[in-house]
Amino acid sequence: MEQQPHARASSSTASGKPQDSGVLTREDFDGGPVSIDEVDTGLFLGNLTAATHMETLRSFKITHILTLDSVPLPQHILEASFLTTKYIQIADMPREDILQHLEGCVDFISAALAQQGNVLVHCYFGVSRSSSTVIAYMMKRHNLDFLPAYELVKAKRRFVQPNAGFVSQLKLFRRMGCKIDPNCQRYKIHRLRLAGEQMRKAKILPQSFHSVVRPDPDITRENPEPIVFRCRRCRRVLASKSHVLEHKPRDRPPQEVVPKEKEEAAGQGQSQDQAENPSGPRMLEQLAERIRQSSLGSPGHEGTPNYCRSILFVEPISWMHRIMLNTQGRLYCPKCEQKLGNFSWINACKCPCGETMTPAFYLIPSKVELSKAVQNVQTTV
């Protein structure tokens, strides 16, 4: 439907506001004339002016309004008897987490249309936040990738343009099957980066991000994973296979990034057990490598088996006691207190292969060992 300029929002600038303050506020901007377009049957995309213009709402027989803005709609709109509303507080910034809201917004739109209602999705200008939500709905409704869904919406409303951060999150939403998949590695990294931004600002991990810190696999006994990483010295379980954040090596010469740890590993040489029994550990290492290759390269594992093994990036885990109160530091085994690696919420860690990870929680491969839940095999070798 073509854009229909019916009315213009009135200015609400306070009369007593100094004219030379040099600070722009929301009241300094006008939402413009009414702008509303029908993107799909019963689904409308528009601006704030359309959502607050009662004549427009009645004209288009709007029954549901989905608002994505920094402030909610005026009270007289929210209290209108013929309207059902949903409000998402979000700014139009690339680092805003719109992904966490997409599934709920899509469900709201779907439920409204299933009731034969008409839905208006809007933000301030109807360009980025609201269009991102409508694109998410179109991806799920019509089983489309991001670009075809974007082009479909743009054909109906020519000036839609999600910001770059929202585009990345929409692509991730599609990759996860248009729902939140907490086991998706890219989603885990997305959440970690958001948590890192909060740590940069507050220097402490907010409670809303405590879920990014995974339970200690040595304590959690319900449905234990068969493949784990243990401390090489005391054999305490440190991480499960699902905690590992895999990465592929960059196509360039390796770069040294943790020389101190490598020197320590080289100086250590063989452990006392290896010196006493050179054949047993060699067989165990071969078994562990077979387990590693078969598990990480299995069809159920995300991606391809061509992963880098130089650094073991993992999710933050609850035994890493210092991570919630410090932006960076070292990781020590909670049992024998051997240094295992490092972490940083705010700085990038570069693997020797050239790949970087931010935030980064990594274990030094020489300090841990891969283990399968076949303890008898390891004991008798």
Boundaries of every domain in the chain: 26-181, 227-380
Phi-psi region of 343 (alpha: psi -120 to 50; beta: other; left: phi over 0): beta
- Whether 205 contacts 324, CB under 8 Å: yes
In this structure, are residues 200 and 345 in contact, taking their beta carbons and an 8 Å threshold? Answer: yes
**Per the residue annotation, which of 105, 123, 308, 349 is the catalytic one?**
123
Q: Which CATH architecture has domain 26-181?
A: Alpha-Beta Complex (3.90)
- 17 touches 38 (CB < 8 A): no
Residue 123 designated active-site: yes
Q: What are phi and psi of 238, to 5 degrees?
A: -110, -40
List per-residue pLDDT tens for the chain, 381 residues long: 434 434 333 333 444 444 545 554 555 556 789 999 999 999 999 999 999 999 999 999 999 999 999 999 999 999 999 999 999 999 999 999 999 999 999 999 999 999 999 999 999 999 999 999 999 999 999 999 999 999 999 999 999 999 999 999 999 999 999 999 999 999 999 999 999 999 999 999 999 999 999 999 998 767 778 899 999 999 999 999 999 999 988 765 544 444 344 434 444 444 444 434 444 445 545 545 554 444 444 333 444 467 888 899 999 999 998 899 999 999 999 999 999 999 999 999 999 998 999 999 999 999 999 998 544 333 333
- The 3-state secondary structure of 88-128 reads EECCCCCCCCCHHHHHHHHHHHHHHHHCCCCEEEECCCCCC
